[in-house]
Structure 1
């Protein structure tokens, strides 16, 4: 029998084990992350499952079914530093509870094979590269680029992986796990204010927005801050500041979001006009054409403000991913399941990226369920969701699991 309260209790136990007064500390490939894996493995011992770690470090628990077709339920136990108690781990522990119910109902032999997966390093908090484990699964993984990554202490990703028994060069072999995957389900806190604003506990996710991430470097001329008149300065920071305001107009024009997340100035001293200002730009929207137009508008605006200030501008590519639309039939199943638990359902896109995007890129029919986030806050120790809503989310994931299994059996 499904026991959603057990999921709530296990989430609290994991918080106690791997958090502190500042929040969750399950940063990937650290001791706290390893402790969270042990926490999960200990509970899997009560199920007749095979537990394995793939070459990228993703942990898989497999309940063998009558059919080799595999229904995957996934999430991530890693967190950002000082993170919230639900981000990522709700997905995994809710999936564990569904696996218990399926095992009990079918006496250890469900109609399809059920697999619970913990994706390694979804957050990218330590090395700056999100979706590490799921991108190895999808095949969108460049070992050479990954090998260049280092954390703030200068430790390379290669060495950090080696420390937990993973060889970076072998990570692409995780793609072998795609072979029999027929559907993927992921439950996640919304991490935004939409559902709370509508007073709804749950939503069906349409897909993940596309993302363009770039560096924009304005180049002017260093000059003495005391002797250089304002009207003759070639101030790279002024050009960047004008651009910073313009991104709000660009975001509104396309109903997307734009963020300047970092700013570096050189020479970076109080007595000099800024010669060089490098900013990072993150742009997101669900429509691919709009995403391309947003980036083009950003480039045009940056060139305009650079020219106005007697500066030049250069663009660098950080990372991008196309918009990912989830499977329409699975979205319908989520909506139907929500309506079996609550009076109203809502469909919405996901602004944050998730492992589900990489699974969908691998060609696996995919869907996500969102549960309301209080205050719309995540990646913060005050991240929270009402316990009633957590229990309802487990119920919905369970119902979607049954619908997905039946649907899979009818597919060629």
Structure 2
């Protein structure tokens, strides 16, 4: 049966006109613009034989019942960061709508397995600082007490924002029942990075989301007058920090991961004093848990060495950690085969950013993602873009992956 990827592109452009301005997309979660995007989605789903509902956490589900109660889920998110791009998140959802159109026509509205399309609520975390809210709730990884503390820049609490859209925060964990019976989860996303463009490839199969170690590294030296203290007698905390800033590139190269120092704070922070205290934030990422742990150990060893060489000491603090989340190997194979059919070649790559797919996979549902090339590797920006021919191929690849996933679900024991 015919698939019409151009309808997805037309829908994306219409959504951009509806929910964006000259600065970019403005679909920040739980705002009026986000609600307008949801209404846009509902209108398109109304033409399909699906049951639509909002779950206890505020995620939007469209269910097409099938001959089997086993469920294949296609997911994405309509919300954006402020001044965001026209593709981030919403490509996933609107491509899923087109796949549902094709399957509905092919099977007369009754596919071999039950299909669900989900628009996850507040994937970005741009308003309240807690990413993956809706998928975390469905995956059983949410702390209501901590969520109640969240406020946006205007002082509005998450609990109040949810109430405005008909959601009671205390009920959010009930969203877990939405993944009951889920046999597989598929997600298409723009890459948001430069790898595929650098390789000259339109599409890739995603191996999983990388693990993240985030820590503080603090060097303690001695404040001293910047004019009267000889260079060889200084206990300069910033010098040790600067040496570590260079060393993290070596650490990343050695282990095949990435490292970033995102913030540097000095005390006393005046131009006439040698730095007494320098605190860095260190973000390290890798798809392999063992190598991720080794990267953090190497960073600590290097920090202690540079501190000792400069007459300083070093201390460490924990900010955040999430383990690497590999996707299902058989579904990765299916994703790669689908990409190869559409584009003639295929590439496997990890995802540096986290996605809703990570929370679904953590809950135990077999999961895989497809990436489509991002021009200039830029996302979360109004200049975010992908060639239209690549968007067409991404919808085609998701469609073929869906067929493969249906067959895979039906082949599982007990199906």
Which range, TM-score by smaller chain?
Answer: over 0.9
Q: How does 1:157-172 map to 2 (within 5 A)?
A: 157-172=158-173
2: CA distance, partners of 1:145 / 1:236: 35
**1:15 aligned residue:** 16
**2:201 aligned residue:** 200
Where 1:61 maps in the other structure, the secondary structure is strand
Where 1:128 maps in the other structure, the secondary structure is coil
Where 1:378 maps in the other structure, the secondary structure is coil
**2:290 aligned residue:** 289
Matched, 1:185 2:190: no
**1:126 aligned residue:** 127
Give 1:232 shift: 4.3
The number of aligned residues is: 412
Matched, 1:145 2:162: no
Matched, 1:347 2:348: yes
The verdict on how the C-alpha distance between 1:30 and 1:231 changes in structure 2, with shifts beyond 3 A counting, is farther
The verdict on how the C-alpha distance between 1:361 and 1:231 changes in structure 2, with shifts beyond 3 A counting, is same
Where 2:28 maps in the other structure, the secondary structure is coil
**2:219 aligned residue:** 218
Where 1:117 maps in the other structure, the secondary structure is strand
| 56-65 or 182-191, which deviates more | 56-65
2: CA distance, partners of 1:150 / 1:221: 38
Q: Deviations over 1:362-398 (max 9, x none)?
A: 1111111111111222222211111011011101111
Q: How does 1:185-334 map to 2 (within 5 A)?
A: 185-225=186-226, 228-334=229-335
Give 1:293 shift: 0.3
Matched, 1:108 2:93: no
The verdict on how the C-alpha distance between 1:306 and 1:405 changes in structure 2, with shifts beyond 3 A counting, is same
Give 1:272 shift: 4.3
| 333-342 or 3-12, which deviates more | 333-342
Structure 1: 5+ residue stretches without partners: none
| 5-14 or 43-52, which deviates more | 43-52
Please, what is the CA RMSD of the aligned residues? 2.0
Give 1:169 shift: 2.6
| 172-181 or 109-118, which deviates more | 172-181
Where 2:87 maps in the other structure, the secondary structure is coil
Give 1:308 shift: 3.4
2: CA distance, partners of 1:365 / 1:190: 21
**1:54 aligned residue:** 55
Where 2:193 maps in the other structure, the secondary structure is coil
Give 1:342 shift: 1.9
Give 1:227 shift: 5.3
2: CA distance, partners of 1:48 / 1:183: 21
**1:38 aligned residue:** 39
| 200-209 or 361-370, which deviates more | 200-209
2: CA distance, partners of 1:276 / 1:150: 31
2: CA distance, partners of 1:164 / 1:271: 54
Normalising to structure 2: TM-score of the pair?
0.93
Normalising to structure 1: TM-score of the pair?
0.93
Q: Deviations over 1:203-246 (max 9, x none)?
A: 11111111112222333444555555544444433332222111
2: CA distance, partners of 1:127 / 1:306: 37
2: CA distance, partners of 1:275 / 1:144: 38
2: CA distance, partners of 1:49 / 1:110: 12
The verdict on how the C-alpha distance between 1:306 and 1:322 changes in structure 2, with shifts beyond 3 A counting, is same
